Amino acid sequence: MMRYLLDTNTLSDLYNNHSSNHAKITTRLQTLNENDEIMVSVLSLYEMSYALQNAPEHKQAKIKQGIDNISQSFVILPLVLRYTELFGQLKKQFKDQRTLNKESIKKHTLDIMLASCAISEGYILVSADKIFPALKQLNNQLQIKDWTQ
């Protein structure tokens, strides 16, 4: 049994039929075993809700439908207290490695939180986001799969 955590970009590609990665992600989901677990972090719903609020009016209904579909189709992984220490460590290490200031590191906060969730729960993080290989260098327990390749 494999355990997967889908990141926001993967979910966006999955629910956007016009995405160049839609077919790849859909095909990969269809090839999973019935015992495999697929989770979505509540953080992805936060990000998608923010995208909804910033989207042009003509795109909002489609984004809202995607959020509703995700909420109904996947188990939603909540945030829990035991992720916090690892999050703090990863964020500090990443900031120091990249010599980022306090403002620059902020844009990576949700991705680092998602990585902390995946590591803590033993999930394979499904993402094409370039930050995650850098985080894996800081904590080799982070397992990553890119379903867009």
Is 40 in a helix, a strand, or coil? strand
Q: For residue 51, tell me if it sits in a domain.
A: yes
Q: For residue 144, tell me if it sits in a domain.
A: no
Total domains present in the chain: 1
Q: For residue 140, tell me if it sits in a domain.
A: no
Please give the model's pTM, rounded to 2 decimal places: 0.93
The pLDDT, as a whole number, for residue 101 is 87
Residue 144 parent element (H or E): strand 143-145
pLDDT single digits (tens) 123-144: 999 999 999 999 999 999 999 9
Query: Would you mind telling me the total number of residues written for the chain in this entry?
Result: 149
**DSSP for 93-141?**
HHHHHHT--HHHHHTTHHHHHHHHHHHHHTPEEE---THHHHHHHH-TT
